[in-house]
Amino acid sequence: MDYQPLLERWREGDLARWAEVLPAQLEAGLSAARHGDLPRWLTVLDALPDIEVSTIHLDRARVGADAAHPLDTAAQDALRSTLMGLHPWRKGPFELFGVHIDTEWRSDWKWDRLAADIAPLAGRRVLDVGCGNGYHCWRMRGAGAAEVIGIDPTPLFAVQFWALQKYLQQPQVWLLPVGVEQVPEKLQAFDTVFSMGVLYHRRSPLDHLLALRDCLRPGGELVLETLVIEGGPGATLVPEGRYARMGNVWFLPSCPTLLGWLAKLGFTDAKVVAEAATTTDEQRATPWMTFHSLANFLHPDDPRLTVEGYPAPRRAVIVANAPGG
């Protein structure tokens, strides 16, 4: 997990401010004292075999790589069981040398819902806030982004990212183990900022949108994906306790409410490009994520509701431009 090349690249230019504080953030984000499982995950990372790569696939559903010399079944089994040491695999799918990492989420479906409706990524510097293990970061690079920075404070996802990076070998793609609140203020350095699956986890959603706006260069594009409810302007659900068994869900606005929030913060040209209920085909338990999944979070008598009786998960994608373009 060598971040030195990035620190050197950022030493000058509009990310220099971040480069100054990043070493301390990396140390805290990947501290074995704070994350007891980290040493075990790092052992898995070390155990991954060196394999000569022939082709890398960043622009198809199963992000992955082919081997110059195809692996036999025993080598595939060994690779599979090493990668299983990084369970649970939530975002994907991936395929490395014939080993299909069938993750909890079909994250490619989310990508397919938005890819045609965002500003072309070719040549852009992109930030993916709450990127998980970086599945969409690879897709962004596959769509031509010049530099992709994913941030996510969950250290297991950073280790999964580095396991993939060993084979995908993309010096333009990075995952930083930091939360959005650690990004220096008013960077205005990114052409596109993605926030997918994060807004509802934020206790102060308007502050989250402001922080995203401040990461964008004037006129840059925000791609926002979040849980929504059906309803008109002003409609918002603040679950009393848990929502779909998640304890940290704060605000689920309707799309018109969300568009109103964005307008109030100065975003322009905001539009909803996708809205759909999440299905148990898109989010489900698999051998790579054996814990409970969406089917267990829905009401046993009525799948239109969560177990708590709230409207079942429904997600929207909104694109908007930062002011000043």
Q: Which residues are annotated as a binding site for carboxy-S-adenosyl-L-methionine?
A: 91, 105, 110, 130, 152-154, 180-181, 196, 200, 315
**Cis peptide bond upstream of 153, omega within 30:** no
What string marks each residue from 206 to 245 as x (binds ligand SAM by CB under 6 A) or -? -------------------x--------------------
- Minimum CB distance to ligand SAM, residue 73 (Å): 31
Given a contact cutoff of 8 angstroms between Cβ atoms, the answer to whether 187 and 18 are in contact is: yes
When asked if residue 192 is in the footprint of ligand SAM (CB under 6 A), the reply is: no
- Minimum CB distance to ligand SAM, residue 198 (Å): 5
Q: 272: how many CB neighbours lie within 10 A of its CB?
A: 16
Separation between Cα atoms, residue 225 and residue 180, nearest integer Å: 16
Q: Which residues are annotated as a binding site?
A: 91, 105, 110, 130, 152-154, 180-181, 196, 200, 315
Structure tokens at 142: 């596959």
Hey, is 233 helix, strand or coil?
Answer: coil
Longest dimension (CA), the chain: 58
**Pairing status of strand 252-253 against strand 302-306:** unpaired
Closest CA to 122 of 137, 149, 143: 143
When asked if residue 283 is in the footprint of ligand SAM (CB under 6 A), the reply is: no
When asked if residue 92 is in the footprint of ligand SAM (CB under 6 A), the reply is: no
Tell me which of 153, 184, 260, 303 binds ligand SAM, using CB under 6 A: 153
- Minimum CB distance to ligand SAM, residue 70 (Å): 31
Given a contact cutoff of 8 angstroms between Cβ atoms, the answer to whether 170 and 140 are in contact is: no
Choices 33-41, 196-204, 230-238, 298-306 (CB under 6 A): range interacting with ligand SAM:
196-204
Residues near ligand SAM (CB under 6 A) are 91, 107, 110, 129-132, 151-154, 157, 179-181, 196-198, 201, 225
